[in-house]
Amino acid sequence: MAYKATVIPVMIASPGDVIEERDVIRSVIYDWNDINSSASKVILIPVGWETNISPELGARPQEIINIRILEDCDLLVGVFWTRIGTPTGKAKSGTVEEIEEHIKSGKPAMIYFSSKPVAPESLDSVQYSEVQSFKDKCKKRGLVEEFENIEQFKQKFAKQLPLCLSHNSYIQSLIVSSKTIITSNQNNEISKEEIKLSEEAKKLLKAADPDRRTT
């Protein structure tokens, strides 16, 4: 059965070394929708640069991503492991720029850092150092989460996503606003129906007593 719902786009911000974590984020979001959307009238839509952007020239690559998809997202989930990403000309990486722009707009960001084991020969020490530096900065600005393996990440994100949706004031304002609009529309429909019934009543009264005036 069709129903009206509030759609909340969720930006997945991540460098290229956390592909498995991106898949987990999408899976948890889809599971949340399956369980909660019908009752809550809220639908979460996962969004990412690797799936929701098309080729385009005319501006910095990251600026295009920001305009095309980031600006429309209400929640951001960021994940880091050993790489910070590629500098954008404005920030240390595209992921960092997305996080900073999102926070600047007053929207919530859930940031995760992986401590999974990594082969020393595959580690870029400069990239890894940048991740640690960014993590330290994030810890001074709020709460971040860390995980040791992919299963732990899935468990933590599956638990913390509903908490964010329930307790974050920005997200709640979207949900309440949508419900207010729906209620207002329903009231308008009722008012129109009442007016319709009132007109019908006038016709009946006039038919019963032609000399009686109705207002």
Burial category of 77 from C-beta neighbours within 10 Å (exposed 0-12, middle 13-18, buried 19 and up): buried
**Successive 10-residue mean pLDDT values, the chain, 215 residues:** 91 98 99 96 96 95 97 98 97 98 98 96 96 98 98 99 97 80 44 43 48 50
Q: How far apart are CA 88 and CA 93, in angstroms?
A: 6
Tell me if the pTM is above 0.85: no
What's the pLDDT score for residue 176?
A: 84
Contact 70, 102 (CB under 8 A): yes
Nearest to 165 by CA among 69, 32, 34, 71: 32
User: What tokens were used for 66?
Assistant: 């920001």
What's the pLDDT score for residue 206?
A: 52
Residue the block writes with tokens 């600005």: 141
DSSP state of 89: S
Kindly report the number of other CB atoms within 10 A of residue 44's CB atom. Answer: 22
What's the pLDDT score for residue 2?
A: 83
Contact 170, 106 (CB under 8 A): yes
Q: How far apart are CA 55 and CA 50, in angstroms?
A: 11
The helix (H) or strand (E) run that includes residue 7 is: strand 6-13
Domains along the sequence of the chain with CATH:
6-167 (3.40.50)
